[in-house]
Amino acid sequence: MHRSSVRAIAERAGLEARRSTHSDAIRAEAAGLYADGLTLAQVAAQLGISDEAVRAAVLACGGTIRPRGRRREQV
């Protein structure tokens, strides 16, 4: 079942969406580390949170997610 289906069923049942358990400071730090060039996995390991939490933090702070794969060396 897709997560959007689960969300729709939960909303119809009157359940509220969960709030983020990470503070604004952690989210800002995660977004900053990612913007500095670390990968989602590296930021997650450094902060002790999940990759998805880092991804959500980056997007919530107005950042964008880089494409997957190796980064090209800048000359």
What is this structure's pTM?
0.68
70 falls within a domain: no
The answer to the question of residue 57 being in a domain is: yes
The residue with tokens 């997610």 is 65
pLDDT at residue 60 in the model: 93
User: Considering the domain boundaries, does residue 71 fall inside one?
Assistant: no
Query: Is residue 49 situated within a structural domain?
Result: yes
The pLDDT, as a whole number, for residue 73 is 65
| Residue carrying structure tokens 């590296």 | 42
Give the tens place of pLDDT for each residue, 35-57: 999 999 999 999 999 999 999 99
Query: Of 13-17, 22-26, 40-44, 69-73, which gets the smallest average pLDDT?
Result: 69-73
Distances (CA, A) of 18 to 21, 38, 54: 9, 28, 17
The confidence band for 17, taking pLDDT boundaries of 50, 70 and 90, is: confident
- The domain that contains 32 carries what CATH number? 1.10.10
How many domains would you assign to the chain? 1
Flag whether 33 is in a domain: yes
Residue 75 has pLDDT above 80, yes or no: no
